[in-house]
Amino acid sequence: MKVYTKTGDNGTTALFGGTRVAKHHVRIDSYGTVDELNSYIGLIRDQKIDETYMQFLTEIQNKLFTVGAILATDPEKAILKNGQKRLNIPIITEKDILFVEKEIDRMEEELPQMTHFVLPGGHTTVSYCHIARCVCRRAERLATALYESEPFDKKVLAYLNRLSDYLFVLARKLTLDLGAKEVKWVPEKLT
């Protein structure tokens, strides 16, 4: 099978289920941004970090493929009229969301209490976490826009929201682990 099909040369692409939409459709932007996020998480995983983080990030990458599949599915073709699933698309569960929350809680137990916003940076690996967090927030914004017009399982939105929180806490935890300096943002005083 060739990588190129030439079917998208006219500016459209196929969703799961066969429906064709414009490549600039919010659905395509949503799952494309999830794919971008997955790539940045791969970049974090490629850094010199503890194996525990690598394993957790691999699990997240797998779940992001599920999120992408959900977002890439035409909702009208996903379910038959009798309510049965037509396409074999995995789902995001409450357990998946709790998995991320537990890891956030575990890391936060080892961190100093946050009293200010922090400036992204301090170490390349930490910066990658912040970039991934920003991409995750963009994916969440796009997914919520899609949800308004073409609803899907709302747990996808919760998962993306929790994942951006995780990436922020991971950035703080790696700052600590790597001995980097966490720079607080202190607003300028108005005169």
In the chain, DSSP assigns E strands to: 12-14, 20-22
pLDDT of residue 79: 59
With respect to residue 185, please indicate whether it lies within any of the assigned structural domains.
no
Per-residue pLDDT tens, the chain, 191 aa: give them. Answer: 677 777 667 776 666 776 776 577 888 899 999 999 999 999 999 999 999 999 999 999 999 999 999 999 887 766 555 555 656 778 999 999 999 999 999 999 999 888 888 989 999 999 999 999 999 999 999 999 999 999 999 999 999 999 999 999 999 999 999 999 988 888 888 77
State the total domains in the chain: 1
What CATH number is attached to the domain comprising 115? 1.20.1200.10
With respect to residue 4, please indicate whether it lies within any of the assigned structural domains.
no
Cβ–Cβ < 8 Å for 151, 70: no
With respect to residue 113, please indicate whether it lies within any of the assigned structural domains.
yes
Instruction: Pull the structure tokens for residue 28.
Output: 């395509």
With respect to residue 188, please indicate whether it lies within any of the assigned structural domains.
no
Q: How far apart are CA 147 and CA 155, in angstroms?
A: 11
pLDDT of residue 78: 63
With respect to residue 41, please indicate whether it lies within any of the assigned structural domains.
yes
pLDDT of residue 116: 84
The predicted model scores a pTM of 0.89
The DSSP bridge partners found for residue 166 are none
pLDDT of residue 28: 86
Neighbouring CB atoms inside 10 A of 54's CB total 14
Q: Which helix (H) or strand (E) holds 23?
A: none
Q: How far apart are CA 151 and CA 105, in angstroms?
A: 30
C-alpha torsion angle, residues 66, 69, 71, 73 (rounded to 10): -140
With respect to residue 187, please indicate whether it lies within any of the assigned structural domains.
no
pLDDT of residue 190: 76
Range of the domain at 102: 13-177
pLDDT of residue 18: 67
With respect to residue 67, please indicate whether it lies within any of the assigned structural domains.
yes
Residue 88: C-alpha distances to residues 17, 30, 41, 91, 93 (Å): 10, 20, 26, 10, 15
With respect to residue 25, please indicate whether it lies within any of the assigned structural domains.
yes
- The HSE-up count of residue 33 (CA atoms within 13 Å, CB side) is 24
C-alpha 12, offset from chain centre: 24
pLDDT of residue 16: 74
Q: How far apart are CA 186 and CA 74, in angstroms?
A: 46
